[in-house]
Amino acid sequence: MRIFLAAEFSREVRKDLFVISSRKLQHAAPLGRCVLEENLHLTLVFLGETGTETIAVLTHQLRKLLAARRSISLQISGMGAFPDAVNPRVLWAGVQQPNEHLSSLQRDVERVCKEIGFSFDARPFHPHITLMRCSRKQGDVSHIIESCQENIRFEAVISSVVLFASQSLPDGRSRYTPIAIYPLGS
């Protein structure tokens, strides 16, 4: 099963982000595909194909780790593109940095995953919410990013971490199914 761990947002925050992506981005960049509202999240770690025994161990270790964690307030603000605005594959909403509580959560989750045997790229954590996946021939989207920047300003609270299974659908989209939810305290 292909899995990842993510911070999930309230329905209201997901709706606000989806309005921006579906109304503003989709009209400005019709060659891209907006992420479905229910799939909007902030990935902490991507784990890839994982067996059920490893998932059981991971679930147990994460319950212990996250039981004492507190919810995290953060500012969702700004927009960007990966790998860059000239040849984008993804348009995203950012998280105002630094947010030490979020960074600490991500480091601790990654550490537990490494202890179980997962390995990760050396890339630094860049917290973001993917809003749109761009077609290969999208071209420079700097002007789109600039026009949407000021619309992306939200306060959000991360009150749980979710272990998701990711399944590719025939239309090229993904379905994310929660396997385990780890509530954070208030």
What is the arithmetic mean of pLDDT over 88-111? 93
Tell me the angle at which helices 100-116 and 52-66 cross, rounded to the nearest 10 degrees. 140
- More confidently predicted of 61 and 172: 61
Q: Quick one: pLDDT at residue 169?
A: 87
What is the arithmetic mean of pLDDT over 19-43? 81
- More confidently predicted of 60 and 151: 60
- Give the model's confidence band at 97: pLDDT under 50 very low, under 70 low, under 90 confident, else very high: confident
- Give the model's confidence band at 84: pLDDT under 50 very low, under 70 low, under 90 confident, else very high: very high
Helix (H, G, I), strand (E, B) or coil at 162: strand
Beta bridge partners of 133: 33, 90
Instruction: Tell me the catalytic residues.
Output: 41, 128
Distance separating alpha carbons of residues 179 and 173, to the nearest angstrom: 19
Mean pLDDT rounded to a whole number for the chain? 90
Q: Are 35 and 42 in contact (CB under 8 A)?
A: no
> Above 90 in pLDDT, residue 23?
no
Per-residue tokens: 50: 């994982």
- More confidently predicted of 23 and 95: 95
Q: Quick one: pLDDT at residue 130?
A: 95
Q: Are 6 and 50 in contact (CB under 8 A)?
A: no
> Above 80 in pLDDT, residue 28?
no
Q: Which amino acid is at 22?
A: S
Determine which helix (DSSP H) or strand (DSSP E) holds 131, and give its type and residue range: strand 128-133
Domains and CATH numbers, the chain: 2-183 (3.90.1140.10)
Considering only 45-49, 52-56, 119-123, which range has the smallest mean pLDDT? 119-123
Considering only 23-27, 64-68, 130-134, 153-157, which range has the smallest mean pLDDT? 23-27
Residue 43 DSSP symbol? E
Considering only 21-35, 43-57, 147-161, which range has the smallest mean pLDDT? 21-35
- More confidently predicted of 121 and 98: 121
- How long is the chain? 186
